[in-house]
Structure 1
Amino acid sequence: MKGTLMLQTVWITGAGSGIGAALARGFAGAGYRVALTARNEESLEEVAASLPADTSSLIVPGDVTDRAGMVAAAQQVAEWGEGIQILCNNAGLNIPKRRWADLDWESWDRLLDVNVTGALNVIAACLPIMRAQKDGIMIHTSSWAGRFHSANGGVAYGASKHALSDISASLNDQEGANGIRSTALCPAEVATPLLTRRPGFDVSTMKAMIQPEDMAETALYVARMNPSVAVHEIVLAPVRR
């Protein structure tokens, strides 16, 4: 099976840490070609170095808010990997000022630019490639806050993830005829460096949370699904104890 899967290429944005790094390790371990994108090239090199020795990997530094840059990155990945079979649209951020009482337009605008416009940029860059293939899976890292209001997630973050979940649904509605399927992964708290920056966060609770590796396993489940089936969304939560 591994030899067959090596013919498939996955492009992961936000691949420098947390869920993105786990996605890279999960797909590489399953035999996929792995292309990694994030702003910090050094972090991408560290992730690439952690992959199995026989992994075919490509580092493509870039910022998802750079629309032309994402088009160029997608083309580079497709030429290297003989197409893009799977996109893990994972780049995202949250901010310290999360409540209406702390309204901060500069940081809120930046969050929406990355989490919504950046996600749109990556999708739009991949669509021509996947349409030409008549095949492709887009897996988006949304959030529990993309399904339910979350005071912990914050106003701008929740809005951005609700938007991303709907964007994913729109792809299934409009691009299924082109062989493209889309899934929004909606996890509650995941034990990542991003979470530790939440105001008042208790680091001791990390072990009881969803782990980045759980997200990778979920993404692989979606990637292996029967091509006639679209998994619209998956909501994950830690077991309440």
Structure 2
Amino acid sequence: MQTVLITGASSGFGAACARAFAKLGWRLVLTARRKGVLDELERELAPLAPVHVLALDVRDRAAVEATLSSLPSEFSEVDLLVNSAGLALGLEPAHKASLDDWDTMVDTNIKGVMYCTRALLPGMVARNRGHIVNIGSVAGSWPYPGGNVYGGTKAFVQQFSRNLRADLLGTAVRVTNIEPGMAETEFSKVRFKGNEEQAQRVYTGTEPLVAQDIADIVVWVSTLPSRVNINSIEVMSVSQSWAPLAVHREK
């Protein structure tokens, strides 16, 4: 039986991944800040698979190191890390954006991925098996107005994933960066700080990706033969594509 540790498991892509791997009978280590939501998820999934939940803020380096180094023996050999914890805050242009929001995105999307990966990677290398799946974004490759620091953090995830692959040459540890486009989860609700109406306008008239779409991809890349490494996948809804290059014209 294999073990998966999923960050940001209380909602969105993380929760969908938890349900998908529970159906496969994998051991689940589920982390998020909202312990109450994790407890509900544990009650839902426990009939399908062993579940261990942890209230954890991935921005807290000391907590990540202490928590992930002291997992119960049944869950301690993590075969798959899904770095799903992440967020976007605000859509203001850079000269108006909140520095507090920028700090939160850097601390979560960059440092959280670093801390969790560094905590579990030595064990994977020692066992010569394992897989890191990072949830990036199309924003890591393609800019848009207001994407400023969020896009920068996801560009880090993209390049960090590539460099992990380079460092791990000669081992059997795999690394994949999955880069979703527009997806209807709590993402926009978080971005707009609980403004449901503003969040819903993002998806009006479209058929966006849903969390299960990404979970299906995570399961696929992680259950391929061990000789296969999917380096990266960029995935969009058919409702989304690239726009013409912007041109400012004087009136």
Distance in 1 separating the partners of 2:204 and 2:12: 16
Structure 1: state its 5+ residue gaps: 1-6
Give the drift of 1:82.
Answer: 4.8
Check if 1:177 corresponds to 2:170: yes
Percent identity, please.
29
Letter in 2 for 1:181: R
Across the aligned residues of Structure 1 and Structure 2, the Cα RMSD in angstroms comes to 1.9
Deviates more, 1:60-69 or 1:70-79: 70-79
Residue 212 of structure 2 is aligned to residue 218 of structure 1: no
Equivalent-residue separation in structure 2 for 1:99 and 1:50 (angstroms) = 41
Q: Give the alignment of 1:74-153 within 5 angstroms.
A: 74-77=68-71, 79-151=73-145
With over 3 angstroms needed to count, the CA separation of the structure-2 counterparts of 1:198 and 1:163, relative to structure 1, is same
1:24-35 equivalences under 5 Å are 24-35=18-29
CA distance in 2 between counterparts of 1:132 and 1:93 reads 32
SS at match of 1:208: coil
- Counterpart residue identity of residue 195, structure 1: S
C-alpha distance 203-45 of structure 1, shift in aligned 2 (>3 A): farther
Given the alignment, which residue of 38, 55, 67 partners 2:49? 55
Q: Does 1:228 align with 2:221?
A: no
CA spacing shift, 1:106–1:198, aligned 2, 3 Å: closer
Normalising to structure 2: TM-score of the pair? Answer: 0.87
Q: 1:56-71 counterparts in 2 under 5 A? A: 56-71=50-65
How far 1:178 moved relative to its partner? 2.5
Q: Write the mapping of 1:157-196 to structure 2, written as runs, cut at 5 A.
A: 157-196=150-189
Structure 2: segments with no counterpart, 5+ residues: 193-197, 241-251
Larger Rg: 2
Paired residues in the alignment total 234
TM-score by length of 1: 0.90
Matched, 1:239 2:238: yes
Instruction: Indicate conservation of the 8 Å contact 1:77/1:84, yes or no.
Output: no
**Offset at residue 145 of structure 1 (A):** 0.5
Q: 1: CA distance between counterparts of 2:106 and 2:92?
A: 13
Matches of 1:8 and 1:97, distance apart in 2? 40
